[in-house]
Chains A and B, each alone.
Chain A
């Protein structure tokens, strides 16, 4: 059974002192309900994603205690993709007809902390300073640049596009354009990645309302169909976050596996996609993910980005709302922020950042520790 998205809602991403994650989640849900033209009491089930909040389902205290099955999920940076996939599958099973996926988070500033043992790593891995996600991204793009001829200037161009698109998005965290010189000149964090090439943890929430495709026209004249939604974890030989060792044998990463499965499920290929959301934890990740999701061959990014291919008016528009670089990463909400943007783009409601030519097919990808990826494909 096909599934449709009939409503999307967002609490802006950024810093909101005094506003709890639950309150942001409630605001995102109210906006998604209003967008769908339904009431909270109509919602038959929900999935909630968060890293910081143990029980996102507590949001019902702000909306009404209706007794619905409300399941909380956490799956690293793919949390929102997991909530969306589970919500869509619940409709496909025929258990319920109107449901909701919500993500909310409120992170403290600075690099994520954690216990290495929770990631199947020994304690000493953290003591010696290996337990950071940023150094993985530095290593991966540094090797990729060496192997495929990507320049430092290309990384700066990607980050500059993120801030520029963020400037067109009233819900973004970082809205001030930065020049390539400022980006390259900011402090080095993990070579070749500088401070302004990285996204930052922040706060925000996003929600979507789903129903069976056959019901969608009852609610909206512009349903957006969820053609595929997949989650995959790393296979042996993939180069992934938090790996004290890697085998000699090598294989593709979790993103490639999730992407191939999503294209197969949707019966849609990368050449059919009109607007793209990629996990840009850092500028290098956006470059690598262009190839890992099938939008170009390894190394072609250098010329494509120089030609402006990934700009809003280019043939491969990537992260039209500024991506993670401009929006930050409230982990539980980040993937539903991607869905929110694709839905606006496919409806033609993206305002100053609208991709021209009435885009028909959109694509989203999430990736994070310890090697988890989620991909969605949407269409009008």
Chain B
């Protein structure tokens, strides 16, 4: 089964060490994800592409135990829905990114734990391709 990213331009793919594709304001240094063409701080339109570091710390998290309304949710629905966790991972001196987490057990999710970017399957498109998205996994210690 072929793998396709959920959208183009949000992470480098295919890659053994995928990175999120952000933008950085040339005027004030603001880092934003996903990339946008103007700055949320100073409104400058002088924006450059900026790849994010792959490791950071878990800043906030919760679980998604019920299926989000579909559409727009494109993962498995109904009895096939698999609960997951979501959190913000703070990438030092760059930005906090909201992402799916590979670990969904509240007992195993720890505030400020070190996390690493991975790409994971989460659904199937109309052509039978496996759709992949970015996520963070706890770094084994």
Which residues of chain A have a CB within 8 Å of any CB of chain B?
110-113, 115-116, 122-124, 126-132, 135, 138-140, 142-143, 146, 187-193, 236, 239, 243-248
Contacts and interface: CB of A to CB of B under 8 A. Distances in A.
Interface residues of B, number: 44
A245 B60 contact: no
Contact of B75 (A113, A129, A142, A193): A129
A106 to B, nearest CB: 18
B133 A128 contact: yes
Contacts of A142: 60-62
B62 A135 contact: yes
Interface in B64-93: 64-66, 68-69, 71-75, 84-88, 90, 93
Interface string B30-51: 1111100000110000000000
Contact of B7 (A115, A124, A131, A193): A124
Contacts of B86: 129-130, 135, 139
A124 B10 contact: yes
A131 B95 contact: no
B96 interface: yes
Nearest to B92: A248
A127 B65 contact: no
Contact of A245 (B32, B100, B122, B123): B32
B68 A132 contact: yes
B12 interface: no
Contacts of A135: 62, 64, 86
A129 B63 CA distance: 11
A128 B30 CA distance: 25
Nearest to A116: B72
B130 interface: no
The interface centre, meaning the residue of B30, B66, B88 with most chain A CB atoms within 10 A of its CB, is B66
B71 A191 contact: no
The interface centre, meaning the residue of A139, A187, A192 with most chain B CB atoms within 10 A of its CB, is A139
A118 B93 CA distance: 30
Given A124-B10, A139-B60, A191-B106, A247 B72 contact: no
B65 A187 contact: yes
A246 B30 CA distance: 11
B6 interface: yes
Interface in B87-131: 87-88, 90, 93-98, 100, 106, 111, 122-123
A114 to B, nearest CB: 8
Given A122-B34, A139-B60, A128 B74 contact: yes
A142 to B, nearest CB: 5
Given A122-B7, A128-B6, A191-B63, A139 B88 contact: yes
